[in-house]
Structure 1
């Protein structure tokens, strides 16, 4: 099994929620998932890097970020809203033009399953 490079570790002593199998995520394509009461967008990038951010576009409040456009600024991966093309840092969720950012979630892989930490 390939070991994934996962972003934003959760604080110690937290609870994780299994979302999907690694193989369920197509590379360079987003998938939406409902975790607890939160919609998240999961992305698997080349090199098996996995990111999770909020699926709600901060500008329009539409649940569309999983259909965003994957890109990069330098070596940092980004996601652009499919509606207004606002660009966000995938690792931390910051809006690169200074607007409201996306929430970024800690992600890990255990036994082939992607797990996301969602604060209570």
Structure 2
């Protein structure tokens, strides 16, 4: 996700750190959206993307396997193994036509927040 200098980010509380498995993901609901939240603990990093896999249109990415490809953090869809960059959402498989929306993540005092550009900041509910 690239942000312009005028874009504002609204942070919403997604969950507690302990709610997300190490080196795994969970699905967080924000309004009508499902967001996949990942704790890549081996790298000490957090990522968030849309939960909808653009390839087969399934809400499944939060259950995907995370790892690296050429040093790039990635998630592989659990159904068809298409891989996407957790950093910027681009497809790392042979299909460059599909990509993911990514969201900024921050952790403060064991609470995980996801940023929505120009959003309203309603609390999320674990799905």
Query: What TM-score does the superposition give when structure 2 sets the normalisation length?
Result: 0.80
RMSD over aligned Cα atoms = 2.0
1:117 pairs, out of 107, 115, 118, with 115
d(CA) in 2 for partners of 1:20, 1:28:
16
Q: Which runs of 4+ in 1 moved over 2 A?
A: 8-14
| Count, aligned residues | 113
d(CA) in 2 for partners of 1:115, 1:9:
17
d(CA) in 1 for partners of 2:61, 2:43:
21
d(CA) in 2 for partners of 1:15, 1:39:
17
- Cα displacement (A) at 1:36: 2.1
- Cα displacement (A) at 1:10: 9.5
| 1:1-120 correspondence to structure 2 within 5 Å | 13-45=8-40, 46-96=42-92, 97=94, 98-119=96-117, 120=119
Query: What TM-score does the superposition give when structure 1 sets the normalisation length?
Result: 0.84
The structure with the largest strand share of the pair is 2
| 5+ long unaligned stretches in structure 2 | 120-127
| 5+ long unaligned stretches in structure 1 | 1-7
